[in-house]
């Protein structure tokens, strides 16, 4: 299990627990459950790389305690 | 931003409360701080305005963008059930997070597998230690995977070394074990024991004997069954079938017999040939074939001259000349290569050698032998001995004698003519020669020496002699004529009443009275001469046969009285423009004068020594360096040498030498200053003028000489003479130049010749 911090820098910051083999889409759903935004409106980014929904977190080398930028579309 | 704003919010609220507390008593203070925290105050005002909004909207941020988003959603977001658990008023980070159980519930709803509790448990607090260790092996505390430590190269090298050492030791052990089996010289003590050795040998002998016995037994058995005969016959058959020397007889070997040496074995193989070819078998040696090919290649590379007519005939092995066919170089190409070959058994080496020796003997018999050692070496003498002198002959001897006789004869022929005229100088040397010849006859020893000398330049002698004889003949004739001419004119000159007729003068007179014209004519000398001749003819017409002079007619028959006046009038006026041609007959002086005027002779030329002519008189070892002034006794300095004498020569006051510098070239011609400079310069630089320049100069000089030799009285083609002759013939003072009388003119030219 890893815990990831997602921050939209607009007042929302959530810590999400998830598995490393979860996909980015799963993470988004979890975030949506916590924040109340619809999951398909969420964009996760790290610098200029936008994470795609179907790829696992471990493949993006997203580890425990990492910060991920949270955007909305 | 959001978070910071929220912090501000909290602060604001607190401050507001604070302000509310001190609203009344600290306006100054506020004002005082106003400057410092102007910005802060502004913000505070702003935030205070929105404070109610913030409280009413729990989730929304105060940013306008976010506000839009919040307004935008058509569906209200699914109300998270975890809201209750969210620590709303949780510490300043304000981070929303769910517990594991809650997330698991959520995940179950979303259709995801539950969280890996084990790892989560480890991170949280108490879990199984081995699992934790396993996880730590893969990952560090940040979740990063551990990397495999880099290989230690030094350790690896050491290991390699160790391994190699071990391997070496192992091999050594193996080899040692192998070697231990064989005995060294020192170790073999067992063999030294005599008894053991003897017994061993006996054993071996016994074994041999037993083996023989066994063999005999077997043979006996074979004999009993009749196998032995069969084997023997088979063997014999095999021997018969064997290919032996007999079979080789008559087979040709395609090599020169000399190349196969007797000392060595030569392996011959059958030469390759086509299957259908029915030639006989030929033996060759592969190596020798290669050698031959190699030799041929080299020959081809040499590129021999194909045609050499001066080549000596080729000789075969016995020294007899080979016959060459026409264009033999192509024989190989046409007939195929010719190869030496012999047949085994037919060619007997002994016979061959005999033939060779015989042929050599024959050759030797033809030649005369000369031994090298017999002749004694002698010192060559510088002189001939008597025998050699006798051998040494001069073949020219006889020839010379005949010639001298001939010469004498010719002179004898001339002599009678010369007798009458002895005054001519040129004859004198000849007389001497004749005398000498006469003297020569009686003596015996002398002539040899003389003859040798004469032989050297007899060609020159001959040429001189010829020239002399011709000259003499001419002289004789000239003298005869001149003596006759001489005598008469004198008589005529004595005659006062003699009339001199001048054709030109007459011509002029008839034309009109132009005296200058007559004077100007340069034909007077010729006329004079003609007058002479005329007179001669008048007097001695009968005597002379040689002189053929055409008789002019008419003029001499004119009345002398009438003519007399004319002649007296004209004669004094006759002074020719050119000098009168001097009469050669009057004497040597006159002849010289003529020669001088004609350019045959030059006044100074006779006296002047020519450089080349006098070359033999010049000192041979003379050079300018001999004049060195280095040791002059005057004691004067070098510089003063050129300053001349200090005091004037008083005794030589009257001596005024007439110095004339003249330069003469190699031919003896006088050079003008320009030419002299050129000549000197060429000598000095040791570099003559070019070929063209020399030719040009020579041409110029020859032209000059020609100019001198040119007749001064007539044109080079002798037209004047012709004109006068024509006038004489036609007896008219004019000449018709029209073309219809061409025949006459040709006749004239003929008579001229």
pLDDT in tens, B108-132: 888 888 887 764 444 444 444 444 4
Q: What are phi and psi of B133, to 5 degrees?
A: -60, -45
CA nearest neighbour of B461 among B411, B414, B394, B407: B407
Name the most confidently modeled range: B288-292, B430-434, B619-623: B288-292
Does the pLDDT at position B739 exceed 60? yes
Measured in angstroms, the CA of B143 and the nearest CA of chain A are apart by: 6
- What residues of B are in contact with residue A30 (Cβ under 8 Å)? 103, 106-107, 110
Preferred mutation among A23, A24, A36 to probe B, highest tally of B CBs within 10 A: A36
Does the pLDDT at position B642 exceed 90? no
B106: nearest CB among A5, A22, A30? A30
Helices (H), B98-241: 100-110, 117-124, 129-138, 153-181, 194-225, 227-241
Query: B485 at the A interface (CB within 8 A)?
Result: no
- What residues of B are in contact with residue A63 (Cβ under 8 Å)? 142-144
> What are the C-alpha distances in Å from B103 to residues A63, B29, B80?
18, 52, 12
Picking from B262-271, B312-321, B580-589, B686-695, which range would have the lowest pLDDT averaged per residue?
Answer: B312-321
- What residues of B are in contact with residue A64 (Cβ under 8 Å)? 123, 142-143
Nearest C-alpha in B relative to A10: B2
Q: Do A30 and B93 touch (CB under 8 A)?
A: no
Greater confidence, B423 or B227?
B227
Nearest C-alpha in A relative to B142: A64
Query: B92 at the A interface (CB within 8 A)?
Result: no
The pLDDT score that the predictor gives to residue B189 is 60
- What residues of B are in contact with residue A9 (Cβ under 8 Å)? 1-3
A17: nearest CB among B80, B83, B103? B103
Element (H, E) at B343: strand B342-343
Question: How many of the other CB atoms lie within 10 Å of CB of B449?
Answer: 9
Q: Do B103 and A9 touch (CB under 8 A)?
A: no
The pLDDT score that the predictor gives to residue B217 is 93
Interval A34-40 mean pLDDT: 89
B77: nearest CB among A14, A30, A37? A37
CA angle B279, B285, B289 (to 5 degrees): 90
| Residue B142 per-residue DSSP state | T
Question: How many of the other CB atoms lie within 10 Å of CB of A35?
Answer: 23
Instruction: Using CA atoms of B642, B646, B649, B653 in order, give the dihedral in degrees to the nearest 10.
Output: 90
Q: Which of residues 52-71 of A touch B (CB under 8 A)?
A: 63-65
User: Judging by DSSP bridges, how do beta strands A2-7 and A67-72 pair with one another?
Assistant: parallel
- What residues of A are in contact with residue B66 (Cβ under 8 Å)? 10-11
Preferred mutation among A3, A11, A71, A73 to probe B, highest tally of B CBs within 10 A: A11
Measured in angstroms, the CA of B156 and the nearest CA of chain A are apart by: 34
Q: Do A26 and B6 touch (CB under 8 A)?
A: no
Q: What is the Cα–Cα distance from B229 to B562, expressed in whole angstroms?
A: 172
Q: Do B66 and A10 touch (CB under 8 A)?
A: yes
Preferred mutation among A17, A22, A58 to probe B, highest tally of B CBs within 10 A: A17
Greater confidence, B174 or B385?
B174
Query: A48 at the B interface (CB within 8 A)?
Result: no
- Residue B58's pLDDT band (boundaries 50, 70, 90)? very low
The pLDDT score that the predictor gives to residue B492 is 44
Preferred mutation among B76, B83, B92, B96 to probe A, highest tally of A CBs within 10 A: B96
The pLDDT score that the predictor gives to residue B386 is 78
Q: Do A10 and B142 touch (CB under 8 A)?
A: no
Q: Do B96 and A10 touch (CB under 8 A)?
A: no
Measured in angstroms, the CA of A30 and the nearest CA of chain B are apart by: 8
Query: B103 at the A interface (CB within 8 A)?
Result: yes
Helices (H), B630-734: 673-685, 691-709, 719-730
Q: Do B143 and A15 touch (CB under 8 A)?
A: no
B120-127: Cβ within 8 A, 24+ apart: B120/A1, B120/A17, B123/A1, B123/A3, B123/A64, B124/B100
**Average model confidence (pLDDT) across chain B:** 67
Query: A19 at the B interface (CB within 8 A)?
Result: yes
pLDDT in tens, B447-484: 444 444 445 567 777 888 888 888 787 777 777 766 66
Does the pLDDT at position B184 exceed 50? yes
A14: nearest CB among B63, B66, B97? B97
pLDDT in tens, B27-49: 444 444 444 444 444 444 444 44
Query: A46 at the B interface (CB within 8 A)?
Result: no
The pLDDT score that the predictor gives to residue B433 is 44
B94: nearest CB among A13, A29, A33? A13
Spatial neighbors of B404 by CB under 8 A, at least 6 apart, are B437
Does the pLDDT at position B71 exceed 60? no
- What residues of B are in contact with residue A35 (Cβ under 8 Å)? 80, 96
The beta-strand segments (E) located in A1-73 are 2-7, 13-18, 42-46, 49-50, 67-72
The structure tokens 């259908």 sit at B276
- Residue B512's pLDDT band (boundaries 50, 70, 90)? low
ipTM metric: 0.76
- DSSP lists the bridge partners of residue A42 as A72
Q: Do A10 and B61 touch (CB under 8 A)?
A: yes
Name the most confidently modeled range: B210-219, B320-329, B557-566: B210-219
Query: A35 at the B interface (CB within 8 A)?
Result: yes
Q: Do B97 and A72 touch (CB under 8 A)?
A: no
The pLDDT score that the predictor gives to residue B366 is 72
Question: B452, B504 in Cβ contact below 8 A?
Answer: no
Greater confidence, B501 or B34?
B501
Query: B144 at the A interface (CB within 8 A)?
Result: yes
Residue extents of the structural domains in chain B: 248-365, 671-721
Crossing angle between the packed helical segments B2-21 and B38-56, to the nearest 10 degrees: 100
- Residue B406's pLDDT band (boundaries 50, 70, 90)? very low
Query: A36 at the B interface (CB within 8 A)?
Result: yes
Structural domains in chain A plus CATH codes: 1-70 (3.10.20.90)
Question: Cα(first)–Cα(last) distance of chain A, in Å?
Answer: 28
- What residues of B are in contact with residue A65 (Cβ under 8 Å)? 142-143
% residues pLDDT > 70 (chain B): 48
Q: What is the Cα–Cα distance from B628 to B426, expressed in whole angstroms?
A: 49
Greater confidence, B629 or B354?
B354
Spatial neighbors of B669 by CB under 8 A, at least 6 apart, are B701
pLDDT in tens, B237-254: 888 877 777 777 778 888
Question: A5, A62 in Cβ contact below 8 A?
Answer: no
Query: B7 at the A interface (CB within 8 A)?
Result: no
pLDDT in tens, B526-574: 444 444 444 444 554 444 444 444 444 444 444 444 444 444 444 444 4
Query: B57 at the A interface (CB within 8 A)?
Result: no
Greater confidence, B567 or B314?
B314
Query: B115 at the A interface (CB within 8 A)?
Result: yes
CB pairs under 8 A between A and B: 101
- Residue B156's pLDDT band (boundaries 50, 70, 90)? very high
Q: What is the Cα–Cα distance from B351 to B8, expressed in whole angstroms?
A: 141
Q: Do B96 and A12 touch (CB under 8 A)?
A: yes
Q: Do B93 and A13 touch (CB under 8 A)?
A: yes
The pLDDT score that the predictor gives to residue B619 is 63
Does the pLDDT at position B402 exceed 70? no
Q: What is the Cα–Cα distance from B521 to B724, expressed in whole angstroms?
A: 12
Q: What is the Cα–Cα distance from A71 to A45, expressed in whole angstroms?
A: 7
Q: Do B94 and A10 touch (CB under 8 A)?
A: no
Helices (H), B63-152: 64-71, 100-110, 117-124, 129-138
């Amino acid at each position: 299990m890893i815990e990831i911090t997602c921050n939209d820098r607009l007042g929302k910051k959530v810590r999400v627990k998830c598995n490393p083999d979860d996909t980015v889409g799963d993470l988004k759903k979890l975030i949506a459950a916590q924040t109340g935004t619809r999951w398909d409106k969420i964009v996760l980014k790290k610098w200029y790389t936008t994470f795609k929904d179907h790829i696992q977190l471990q493949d993006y080398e997203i580890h425990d305690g990492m910060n991920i930028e949270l955007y909305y579309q | 931003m959001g978070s910071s704003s929220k912090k501000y919010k909290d602060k604001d609220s607190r401050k507001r409360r604070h302000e509310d507390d001190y609203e009344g008593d600290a306006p100054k203070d506020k004002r005082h701080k106003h400057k410092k925290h102007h910005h802060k105050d502004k913000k505070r005002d702003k935030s205070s305005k929105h404070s109610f909004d913030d409280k009413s909207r729990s989730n929304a941020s105060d940013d306008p963008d976010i506000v839009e988003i919040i307004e935008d959603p058509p569906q209200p977001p699914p109300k998270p059930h975890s809201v209750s658990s969210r620590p709303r008023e949780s510490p300043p980070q304000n981070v929303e997070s769910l517990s594991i159980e809650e997330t698991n519930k959520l995940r179950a709803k979303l259709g995801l597998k539950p969280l890996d509790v084990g790892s989560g448990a480890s991170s949280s607090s108490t879990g199984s230690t081995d699992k934790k260790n396993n996880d730590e092996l893969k990952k560090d505390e940040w979740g990063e995977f551990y990397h495999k430590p880099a290989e230690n190269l030094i350790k690896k090298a050491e290991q390699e070394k160790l391994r190699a050492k071990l391997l070496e030791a192992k091999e050594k052990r193996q080899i040692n074990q192998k070697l231990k089996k064989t005995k060294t010289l020192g170790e073999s003590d067992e063999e030294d024991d005599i008894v053991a050795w003897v017994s061993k040998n006996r054993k071996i002998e016994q074994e041999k004997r037993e083996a023989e016995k066994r063999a005999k037994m077997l043979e006996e058995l074979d004999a009993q069954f009749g196998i032995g005969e069969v084997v023997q016959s088979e063997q014999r058959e095999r021997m018969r079938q064997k290919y032996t020397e007999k079979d080789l007889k008559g087979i040709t070997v395609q090599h020169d017999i000399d190349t196969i040496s007797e000392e060595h074995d030569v392996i011959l193989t059958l030469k390759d040939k086509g299957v259908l070819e029915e030639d006989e078998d030929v033996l060759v040696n592969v190596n020798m074939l290669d050698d031959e090919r190699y030799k041929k290649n080299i020959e081809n590379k040499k590129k021999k001259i194909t045609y050499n007519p001066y080549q000596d005939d080729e000789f075969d092995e016995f020294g007899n000349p080979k016959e060459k066919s026409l264009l033999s170089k192509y024989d190989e190409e046409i007939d195929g290569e010719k190869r030496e070959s012999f047949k085994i058994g037919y060619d007997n080496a002994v016979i061959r050698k005999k033939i060779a020796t015989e042929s050599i003997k024959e050759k030797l018999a033809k030649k005369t032998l000369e031994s090298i050692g017999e002749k004694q070496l002698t010192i060559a003498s510088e002189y001939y001995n008597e025998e050699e002198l006798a051998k040494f002959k001069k073949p020219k001897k006889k020839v010379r004698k005949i010639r001298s006789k001939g010469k004498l004869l010719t002179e004898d022929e001339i002599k009678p003519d010369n007798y009458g005229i002895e005054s001519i100088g040129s004859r004198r040397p000849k007389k001497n020669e004749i005398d000498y010849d006469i003297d020569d006859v009686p003596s015996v020893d002398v002539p040899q020496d003389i003859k040798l000398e004469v032989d050297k330049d007899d060609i020159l002698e001959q040429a001189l002699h010829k020239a002399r004889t011709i000259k003499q003949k001419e002289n004789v004739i000239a003298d005869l004529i001149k003596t006759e001419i001489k005598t008469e004119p004198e008589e005529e000159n004595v005659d006062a009443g003699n009339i001199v007729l001048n054709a030109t003068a007459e011509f002029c007179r008839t034309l009109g009275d132009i005296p200058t014209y007559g004077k100007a004519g340069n034909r007077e000398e010729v006329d004079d001469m003609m007058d002479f001749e005329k007179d001669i003819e008048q007097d001695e017409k009968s005597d002379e046969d040689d002189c053929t002079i055409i008789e002019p007619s008419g003029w001499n028959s004119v009345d002398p009285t009438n003519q007399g006046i004319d002649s007296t009038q004209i004669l004094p006026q006759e002074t020719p423009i050119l000098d009168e041609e001097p009469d050669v007959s009057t004497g040597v002086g006159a002849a010289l004068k003529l020669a001088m005027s004609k350019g045959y002779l030059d006044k100074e030329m006779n006296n002047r020594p020519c450089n080349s002519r006098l070359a033999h008189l010049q000192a041979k070892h003379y050079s300018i360096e001999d004049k060195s002034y280095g040791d002059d006794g005057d004691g004067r300095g070098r510089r003063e040498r050129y300053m001349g004498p200090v005091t004037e020569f008083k005794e030589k006051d009257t001596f005024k030498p007439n110095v004339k510098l003249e330069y003469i070239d190699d031919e003896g011609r006088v050079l003008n200053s320009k030419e002299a400079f050129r000549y000197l310069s060429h000598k000095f630089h040791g570099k003559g003028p070019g070929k063209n320049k020399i030719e040009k100069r020579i041409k110029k000089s020859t032209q000059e000489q020609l100019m001198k030799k040119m007749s001064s009285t007539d044109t080079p083609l002798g037209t004047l003479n012709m004109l006068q002759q024509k006038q004489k013939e036609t007896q008219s003072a004019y000449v018709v130049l029209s073309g219809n009388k061409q025949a006459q003119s040709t006749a004239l030219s003929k008579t001229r010749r």
